[in-house]
Amino acid sequence: MFDYTEAFSRNIGWVTETEQEVLRSKRIALAGMGGVGAQYLLTLTRLGIGRFNISDFDIYELANFNRQAGATMSHLHHPKVQVMADMALDINPELDLRRFPDGVCTENVNEFLMDVDLYIDTIDFFALDVRRAVFAACAEKRIPAITVAPIGMGAALLAFLPGKMTFEEYFRMEGQPEDEQLLRFLLGLSPARLQMPYVVDDTRVDLSAHKVPSTPMGCELCAGVAATNALKILLNRGDVIAAPRGLHFDAYRNKLKQTWRPWGNHNPIQQLGLKIARRRFSENLARSGAEAKAAPASPLERVLNLARWAPSGDNEQPWRFEIIDHDHVVIHAHDTRDWCVYDLDGSASQRALGMLLETIDIAASGEGLKAVFKRREEHGERAPLVDVTLSQDSESRVSELLPYIKARVTQRRPLSTTPLTTAQKQGLEQSVGKGYRVLWLEGPQQRRAVTRLLFRNAHLRLTMEEAYHVHKQTIEWGVQFSEERIPEPAVGADPATMKIMCWALQSWQRVKMLNRFFAGTWLPRLQMDVLPGFRCAAHFVIYATQPSKHIDQWIAGGRAAQRFWLTATQLGLQFQPEMTPIIFSAYDRDGRQFSTDPRKLRAASVLRTQLDVLIGDDINASAIFMGRLGTGPTPMARSIRKPLQKLRTKGPDSAHAHPTQELT
Ligand SMILES: Cc1cc2nc3c(=O)[nH]c(=O)nc-3n(C[C@H](O)[C@H](O)[C@H](O)COP(=O)(O)O)c2cc1C
C-alpha cells in the first residue's frame, strides 16, 4: 500500500516534516518531457512535490535514447506525456497531474500556468516563441521561473524571479530573426562557456536543422540543480542566484563558475561572443546544406560513403568512384610516386587501395551484400582501375569489424606502455589471414631499439629536400579536422613546436637554416618519434610469407593491414603506422636514387642495416606494414575525408583530368 509519509521519509533530515508537507502541496509546471523535463519530473516526484502540470505533443523516437528517461524500446512511438505520467504515478500514485498532450502554445499558456507555484523551463531548445510567451506570462503572474540548460557534461542555471530581471530583459530576443534568437539563447545560457575546450566535433551543432548534441550526464546534472533550486524557492530558503547572475557547473572540467552579465545579451562581453558565434554559425550552415544535398541514397552509395573512411598515406585518398549502376562501381585509383618520396613505385598507394577494397567489402556486409573486385590489368599500375560488383550475400553475415570503420584513426601521441595481452596479440595475428604474419617488438629493450631507429629515420626525413616538399603540403594548419590533409593538432607535437614548424616549412632554406644552426630536428624528433616510439605497448611488422613485388600483392597486403588496424580498434587499441623505415630500406635494397644528396642514400643504408638487425633481413624484405599500438586517448583532432560527392567521377577522362571534380 502506498503511503506518502513513508515513501518520502528519507528526505526528512534535509527538509523538516512540515516542509515536506509544503512540498506536497506545491504545483510545478514542466513544459516538455524531453531530456531534462522527464528527468525533472522523476526527481521532483521523489522530492515529494505533489502536483504537476506537464506538457509535450511528441512521441518517443530512437534519437531520444541517449538522454530521455522514458525513451526505451517498450516506449518507442508512445506519447511522451503519457509514458512520463505513468512513470511518475508509479512513484507517487497520489500525484495530482494535469496533462497537456498537445503541448503548450501561446493560446493555452494561462491554463498551463494555472495554480502553479514554480515554472521550470523544459521546452524543446528550438521552440523559442513558446518559451518566450511562457516566461513573459510567468513574469506577469509573478511566478518564479528557472531554466537549467544541459550543456555538454554540465549544467547552467538561470533563474528569473518575481520583481527581478526578466527573461526578455536578459536574452533580448524581441524583433530578432530565428537564427539570431537561437544564438542569443545559446550564448545567454552559458556565458562561462566551460564546455568549449572539449567540443570534439562542432559540426554536430546544426542550429538550422534544429539539432544539437547532448549527454545523459548533462540532463541528470540539470535535474539535481533544478530540483535543488525548486526546493529553495518553494520553501523560501533564500539565496537563489537570479539573472543577470547565473551558475555553470561542468563535471568534465571540474569547474564551477558564477557569471554576471548586467544587461544580459546587451552586455559588451556577450556582444563580442555573439559576433564570433554568428560567423561560426554561417560556416556551419553552409556545410550542413552541402551535406544534406549529398546524403547517400542507394545501398551502393552507402557502402562507398562508409568505405571512404579507409586510410591513405597523408590522407591523400588517391581514388575516385565512377558509379555505373546500382551494383557496379569503377574505382579510378592513382599513385603519388611522381611527387611523394614515400610512395616507392606507387606501393604505398597500392597498399592504401587494398585498404579501401577491404573497407568496401566490410561496409557491403552491413547492407547484406558482398563485393567482388577485378583490377583491369590492361590499365597499368600508375592509375589502376578496379571494377567492384556488389551482389546479395547468401550467408548475409555482417562483419564484426563494420562498427570500427569510422572509429579507426591514427594516434601519433604517446600511449600506455602496458603490454598487449596474449588474447589481443592472438586476435591481431589472426586478423591478417593466410599468407601474412606479424612480428612483435615489445618490452622496454626492443621498444628502445625501435625508438633509436625512428630517431635516425626522422633525421633522414627532416633533412631531405625531397621529403620537405611532401611535408609542406601534408599539414593543414589551424584546424581540428581536415578533409584532404592531416590537421595540425593530429601531427603529435606541442603547439609551440608546431608554430616553429609552420614557420620553417614555408621554405626549404628556412628548414636548412633551422637544422644547421638551431638543431631544428631535435624538438620534433623528441616529440614525434622518441616519446611515442618508447611509449607504446608494442611495435609490429606485418609481413608476407612471399615478398611483394607486384601491384596485386601490395593491394592484398593492404587488405590484410586494414583488417589488422580495424581489429586493433575493436580491441580498444590506438594505432600509428611507422612506414618510412621499411620504405627507405626498400629504396636501399633496390639501389634506388631517391635523393640527389648522397648523404641521404648512405643514411638509408645505415637505417636498413639497423632494421635488418632488429627484425631480420628476410622480414624487412617482405614487410607490408609497420607501426605501433597501445591503449591511450582517442585523438581530438583527426583527418576526415572528402565528401562522397567530391570523390565521384563521371568516367575515365574526367577521373584523371579532374581528379576532384564534383558532380552535380
Ligand atoms: C599506406 C599508409 C602509410 C602511412 N604512413 C604513415 C606514417 O608513416 N606515419 C603516420 O603517422 N601515419 C601514416 N599513415 C596514416 C595516414 O596519414 C592516415 O591514415 C591518414 O592521414 C588518415 O587519417 P586517419 O587514419 O586518422 O583517418 C599511413 C597510412 C597509410 C594508408
Residue 182 contacts residue 247 (beta carbons within 8 Å): no
Calpha distance 210→134 (Å, rounded): 21
Question: Could you tell me if the CB of 601 is within 6 A of ligand 1?
Answer: no
pLDDT score recorded for residue 658: 36
Question: Could you tell me if the CB of 559 is within 6 A of ligand 1?
Answer: no
Q: Ligand 1 centre from 643 Cα, in Å?
A: 19
**Among candidate residues 164, 181, 186, the one with its CA nearest the CA of residue 243:** 164
Calpha distance 369→589 (Å, rounded): 42
Question: Could you tell me if the CB of 577 is within 6 A of ligand 1?
Answer: yes
Pairing of strands 475-476, 436-442: unpaired
Residue 551 contacts residue 376 (beta carbons within 8 Å): no
Q: Which phi-psi region, left, alpha or beta, contains residue 18 (left: φ > 0; alpha: ψ -120 to 50)?
A: alpha
What's the Cα-to-Cα distance from 82 to each of 56, 76, 110, 449, 663, rounded to whole Å? 9, 12, 22, 66, 48
Are 307 and 244 found together in one domain?
A: no
**Among candidate residues 348, 352, 342, the one with its CA nearest the CA of residue 309:** 352
Question: Could you tell me if the CB of 352 is within 6 A of ligand 1?
Answer: yes
Are 227 and 313 found together in one domain?
A: no
Q: Give pLDDT < 70 ranges for the chain.
A: 284-295, 652-664
Q: Ligand 1 centre from 578 Cα, in Å?
A: 8
pLDDT score recorded for residue 395: 85
Are 436 and 401 found together in one domain?
A: no
Count Cβ neighbours within 10 Å for each residue of 404-425 and write b for 16 or more, e otherwise.
Answer: bbeebbbbbbbbebeebeeebb
Question: Could you tell me if the CB of 638 is within 6 A of ligand 1?
Answer: yes
Are 492 and 348 found together in one domain?
A: no
* Residue written as grid cell 508509479: 90
Single pTM value for the model:
0.75
Whether 276 is covered by a domain: the verdict is: no
- In this structure, the residue with its CA closest to atom 4 of ligand 1 is 313
Domain-ending residue, one of 490, 520, 550: 520
pLDDT score recorded for residue 293: 61
Are 497 and 529 found together in one domain?
A: no
Question: Could you tell me if the CB of 579 is within 6 A of ligand 1?
Answer: yes
Calpha distance 316→69 (Å, rounded): 44
Whether 375 is covered by a domain: the verdict is: yes
Residue 465 contacts residue 597 (beta carbons within 8 Å): yes
Calpha distance 348→477 (Å, rounded): 24
The atom number, within ligand 1, closest to the CA of 352 reads: 31
Q: Ligand 1 centre from 313 Cα, in Å?
A: 5
Omega within 30 of 0 (cis) for the link into 244: yes
Are 225 and 119 found together in one domain?
A: yes
Give the list of residues 6+ apart from residue 415 with CB closer than 8 angstroms, or none: 532, 535, 536, 537, 574, 628, 629, 630, 631, 632
What's the Cα-to-Cα distance from 394 to each of 139, 325, 587, rounded to whole Å? 65, 21, 45
Which pLDDT tens digit goes with each residue over 392-430? 988 878 999 999 999 999 999 999 999 999 999 999 999
Domain-ending residue, one of 477, 502, 520: 520
Which pLDDT tens digit goes with each residue over 9-46? 999 999 999 999 999 999 999 999 999 999 999 999 99
Question: Could you tell me if the CB of 578 is within 6 A of ligand 1?
Answer: yes
Are 132 and 255 found together in one domain?
A: yes
Are 416 and 535 found together in one domain?
A: yes
Calpha distance 341→580 (Å, rounded): 10
- In this structure, the residue with its CA closest to atom 28 of ligand 1 is 313
Question: Could you tell me if the CB of 314 is within 6 A of ligand 1?
Answer: yes
Are 328 and 420 found together in one domain?
A: no
Backbone angles phi, psi at 534, to 5 degrees: -85, -40
Calpha distance 103→365 (Å, rounded): 43
Reported as half-sphere exposure (CB side, CA atoms, 13 A), residue 662 has a value of 8
The count of domains in the chain is 4
Helices (H) and strands (E) in the chain, counts: 25, 20
Whether 280 is covered by a domain: the verdict is: no
- In this structure, the residue with its CA closest to atom 12 of ligand 1 is 577
The atom number, within ligand 1, closest to the CA of 355 reads: 31
Residue 147 contacts residue 138 (beta carbons within 8 Å): no
Q: Ligand 1 centre from 589 Cα, in Å?
A: 23
CATH number, domain of 568, equals 3.40.109.10
Helix, strand or coil for residue 387? strand
pLDDT score recorded for residue 453: 98
Helix, strand, coil percentages in the chain from 3-state DSSP, rounded to 5: 45, 15, 35
Whether 282 is covered by a domain: the verdict is: no
Whether 413 is covered by a domain: the verdict is: yes
Q: How crowded is residue 262: how many other Cβ atoms within 10 Å of its Cβ?
A: 10
437 DSSP β-pair partners: 543
Q: How crowded is residue 292: how many other Cβ atoms within 10 Å of its Cβ?
A: 11
Are 134 and 153 found together in one domain?
A: yes
Element (H, E) at 91: helix 80-91
- Opening angle at CA 15, ends 11 and 20, nearest 5: 80
Q: Ligand 1 centre from 396 Cα, in Å?
A: 31
- In this structure, the residue with its CA closest to atom 23 of ligand 1 is 639
Whether 412 is covered by a domain: the verdict is: yes
**Among candidate residues 299, 300, 339, the one with its CA nearest the CA of residue 318:** 339
Distance of CA 583 to the CA centre of its chain: 32
Are 352 and 222 found together in one domain?
A: no
The atom number, within ligand 1, closest to the CA of 486 reads: 21
Question: Could you tell me if the CB of 311 is within 6 A of ligand 1?
Answer: yes
Q: Ligand 1 centre from 474 Cα, in Å?
A: 11
C-alpha cell at 627: 607501426
* Residue written as grid cell 552507402: 302
Calpha distance 39→343 (Å, rounded): 56
Calpha distance 129→305 (Å, rounded): 38
Whether 207 is covered by a domain: the verdict is: no
Backbone angles phi, psi at 145, to 5 degrees: -135, 130
Domain-ending residue, one of 520, 541, 568: 520
Are 342 and 328 found together in one domain?
A: yes
Whether 649 is covered by a domain: the verdict is: no
Q: Ligand 1 centre from 577 Cα, in Å?
A: 6
Expressed as residue numbers, the domain containing 593 is 408-452+525-631
Question: Could you tell me if the CB of 412 is within 6 A of ligand 1?
Answer: yes
Q: How buried is residue 61: exposed, middle or buried, by Cβ count under 10 Å (0-12/13-18/19+)? A: exposed
Element (H, E) at 557: helix 551-570
Question: Could you tell me if the CB of 355 is within 6 A of ligand 1?
Answer: yes
CATH number, domain of 259, equals 3.40.50.720
Residue 70 contacts residue 89 (beta carbons within 8 Å): no
3-state secondary structure 638-654: EECCCCHHHHECCCHHH
